[in-house]
Amino acid sequence: MTSINLSEEVIPLVRSGLLIEENILSLSLKKYQKELENFEKKHQMSTDEFTERFNAGKLGDDGVWFDWLFACKAVGHISGKLRLLKGIAI
């Protein structure tokens, strides 16, 4: 674990910045999760099934599949950043 020393006057500023970042990430996560839901409804398959079929080369090169893949990766990336942020103790 890494620790840093902050003066008392800086702590509220750091907390505020982390909270803003958490809110931005949470909003982005909801947006991409909604996109995944829309893809699943439109194409009548789960994201897990899509990922499996896409990675096996069974879906072709249509741009919509890459949009779905991007949304999948965005959800994973944002979720990881949120986990890191929530692990910060000040």
Question: What DSSP state is assigned to residue 51?
Answer: H
List Cα–Cα distances, 24 to 20, 27, 29, 70, in angstroms: 6, 5, 9, 18
pLDDT tens by residue, 4-41: 888 999 999 999 999 999 999 999 999 999 999 999 99
Parent domain of 67: 25-86
Residue 20 forms part of a structural domain: no
List Cα–Cα distances, 35 to 9, 59, 74, in angstroms: 41, 19, 11
pLDDT tens by residue, 62-72: 999 999 999 99
pTM of the complete model: 0.87
Residue 63 forms part of a structural domain: yes
Residue 66 forms part of a structural domain: yes
Question: How many domains would you assign to the chain?
Answer: 1
Residue 39 forms part of a structural domain: yes
Residue 29 forms part of a structural domain: yes
